[in-house]
Amino acid sequence: MKAHRTAARSIGILMLAAFFLYGIGTSVAITATAGSAPLVIGVGMMLLNTLAVIAIGILMYPIVRPHSAIVAGGYLTTRLFEGTLLAIGATALLTGAAAINTLAYNIAMAGLGIGSLFFCVVLYRARLVPRFLAAWGFIGYAAFASGCVLEIVGVAGAGIPATIPGGLFELAFAGWLLVRGFASRSSAPVAVNA
């Protein structure tokens, strides 16, 4: 379906954009001096990331909904939650509150990881993407959520290695969507009661 192909490409572009906007924006913002132009530029990039992650949820909703309305709504909510908390954290950097940014990031990513587990189950069952990719996403998001929760409870450094499988999945998933899109003939809608 042409609409799904367009959505897949848009989601792929947004996932890559979000990855780089937040990564580069954070690097610029946390190394900039208070009140400087680089700080504002870095925070601006982080806020553009918020728009991208929310748009991902919106575009993914009609694709996932035929397979599970509950998961489609949950994934959209997950992306709204993620974007809102990341925006709060980014804005906190303007006031020099780096600790708030770090906490907001870890809460946002723990929420993204947990919410995306159900999303990956639908990807797997409906065969919207190859099963190995959906399974990789499930494992990656589980590791990501676990690492962020450990950071929140005080295990310093746990989040960084835990982001690797999930981060690599997001890059691979985005690439897959750009090149191949979603399966044109997925299985019949699946009920995923989560």
pTM of the model: 0.90
User: From residue 43, how far is each of 24, 28, 31, 47, 178 by CA, in Å?
Assistant: 10, 8, 11, 6, 27
Residue 185 lies in a domain: no
Residue 118 lies in a domain: yes
Q: What is the pLDDT of residue 185?
A: 52
- Distance of alpha carbon 35 from alpha carbon 25, whole angstroms: 15
Residue 121 lies in a domain: yes
- The angle, 0 to 180 degrees and rounded to 10, between the axes of the packed helices 98-126 and 37-64 is 20
In total, how many domains does the chain have? 1
Q: What is the pLDDT of residue 190?
A: 45
- Collapsing DSSP to helix, strand or coil, 6 comes out as helix
Residue 188 lies in a domain: no
Question: Residue 7 belongs to what domain range?
Answer: 2-179
Q: What is the pLDDT of residue 113?
A: 96
Residue 187 lies in a domain: no
Residue 65 CA to its chain's centroid (Å): 18
Contact at 8 Å (CB) between 59 and 7?
yes
Q: What is the 3-state secondary structure (H, E, C) of 44-103?
A: HHHHHHHHHHHHHHHHHHHHHCCCCHHHHHHHHHHHHHHHHHHHHHHHHHHCCCHHHHHH
Contact at 8 Å (CB) between 165 and 139?
yes
User: From residue 54, how far is each of 26, 135, 154, 188 by CA, in Å?
Assistant: 18, 23, 29, 27
Residue 15 lies in a domain: yes
User: From residue 108, how far is each of 61, 89, 112, 131 by CA, in Å?
Assistant: 19, 10, 6, 26
Contact at 8 Å (CB) between 70 and 193?
yes
Q: What is the pLDDT of residue 160?
A: 86
Q: What is the pLDDT of residue 2?
A: 74
Q: What is the pLDDT of residue 186?
A: 44
- Distance of alpha carbon 109 from alpha carbon 87, whole angstroms: 13
* pLDDT one digit per residue (tens) for the chain, 194 residues: 677 789 999 999 999 999 999 999 999 999 999 999 999 999 999 999 999 999 999 999 999 999 999 999 999 999 999 999 999 999 999 999 999 999 999 999 999 999 999 999 999 999 999 999 999 999 999 999 999 999 999 998 888 899 999 999 999 999 999 999 998 754 444 444 44
Q: What is the pLDDT of residue 1?
A: 60
Residue 194 lies in a domain: no
Residue 155 lies in a domain: yes
Per the structure block, which two tokens stand in for 129?
A: 């993407």
